[in-house]
Amino acid sequence: MAYIEVAGVSKVYQGDTPDPIVAVDLVDLGVERNSIVTIVGPSGCGKSTLLHMIGGFIAPSTGEIRMDGKRIDAPGPDRGIVFQHFALFPWMTVRGNVEYGLVEKGIAKAERRDISQHYIDMVKLTGFEDVFPNRLSGGMQQRVALARMLACDPDTLLMDEPFGALDAQTRVIMQEELREICRASNKTVLFVTHDVREAVFLGEKVVVMTARPGRIKTVLDIDLADDAPRLKVDEKADEIWDILRDEVIKAVVPGPRPTERAAG
C-alpha cells in the first residue's frame, strides 16, 4: 500500500451557479514514501484543491485520503505546506517565522535557535534573521516559507505552486535548491504546478490532470538523471505538453457542457 492513498476522492462546491461545481472528480492516487510527485494541470483543474484535501485543510465530498494507513481529517505537523503567496506571518521576523512551529512543539529556546539557524542558513538567508517579511523580495519570502516548513521536520511536503509568484530567474534557482533539499532529506513531496517544465524537472512522477472537473488523465514516470541535459527535460516536457494541450484549451475556452465533452 502506498504511503499516501487517495481513494475515490471528489470535491463538490455549491456555488452561486445553479449547478454545483465539481472541482475534483473521483481521483485515485497513490504516493510512495520518499518519492517526489508533481501534479500538473490547467488552471482551475482542482490540483490545489486536491493538495488542500491531502493537507487536511478541507474535507473531501466523497472518498477518503489515508496517510500511512490512517485517515486524514485535519492538518498536522506531519504534513508541511508552502503556498504560492508564501503566507508568512508578517508580524514575525524571519527567525520568528522559522521558529513558529518549534514553539508550538514546545521545544526549548536554545535548541530552537540551533534548528532555526540551520534552516535559515540552508535557504541562504543568513544575516536576515531579524528582518520582517515585508522587507524581503518574493524569492526570499518563499525561502522563509520553505525554512519554516522544513524546521518542523514534516514527513511530507505539500507545495502549492510555490514558485508561481516568482520571476523566471529566481524560479530556476529555487527549483534547483528545492531538488537538492528533497534529495538530501528523504521526504515525500507533492508539488502542484501549472508549469510543465517545472513538473518534469522536479518530479520522479508527473500526474497530469484534466480541465474541470479535475480527474487524473495520466501518470508518467520521469527517469531522468539529476544531471540530465536541459534538452532531455525539454523533450519530456514537450511530451507532457502534448497530452495537456487539449485540457488547457478546454480550460481557457468557455467549455462545452460535460455531456457534450463525454460524447466528443
Partner 1 sequence: MTAIRFYTPLFLLVALWQAAAMGGMISAELLPSPSAIISGLVHLASGGDLLTHVGVSIYRQMAGLLLAVIVGVTLGVGMAQVAWVRDVFEPVVRITYPLPKSALIPLLILWFGIGHNSKIFAVFLGCLLPVVVSAFNGTRGVNGQLVWSARSLGTRGIRLLWKIYFRAALPEILSGLRIALALSFTLLVSSEFLIARAGIGYLIQSLGEAGDYSGMFAGILIVALIGFTADRLYVKFMNWMLRWQDQG
Residue 214 touching partner 1 (CB under 8 A): no
Residue 8 touching partner 1 (CB under 8 A): no
Residue 75 touching partner 1 (CB under 8 A): yes
Residue 148 touching partner 1 (CB under 8 A): yes
Q: Are strands 205-209 and 36-40 parallel, antiparallel or unpaired?
A: parallel
Q: Are strands 21-31 and 4-13 parallel, antiparallel or unpaired?
A: antiparallel
Gap between the Cα atoms of 201 and 215, Å rounded: 23
Identity of the residue, 154 or 213, whose beta carbon is nearer to partner 1 in the bound complex: 154
Residue 60 touching partner 1 (CB under 8 A): no
3-state secondary structure of 205: strand
Identity of the residue, 91 or 260, whose beta carbon is nearer to partner 1 in the bound complex: 91
Question: Assign residue 203 a region: left if phi > 0, alpha if psi is -120 to 50, beta otherwise?
Answer: beta
Identity of the residue, 78 or 234, whose beta carbon is nearer to partner 1 in the bound complex: 78
* DSSP per position, 29-57: EEE-TT-EEEEE--TTSSHHHHHHHHHTS
82 pairs with which residues across the strands? Answer: 159
Gap between the Cα atoms of 259 and 264, Å rounded: 9
Residue 13 touching partner 1 (CB under 8 A): no
- Here's the x/- map for partner 1, 106-135, by CB under 8 A: it reads as --------------------------xxx-
Number of residues near partner 1 (by CB under 8 A): 29
Length of the chain: 264
Q: Are strands 216-221 and 205-209 parallel, antiparallel or unpaired?
A: antiparallel
CA neighbor of 220 nearest in space, from 211, 246, 238: 238
Residue 105 touching partner 1 (CB under 8 A): yes
Select the residue interacting with partner 1 from 26, 92, 173, 228 (CB under 8 A). 92
Select the residue interacting with partner 1 from 8, 20, 90, 256 (CB under 8 A). 90
Residues that bind partner 1 (CB under 8 A): 52, 55, 57, 74-77, 79-81, 83, 85, 87, 89-93, 100-101, 104-105, 132-134, 148-149, 152, 154
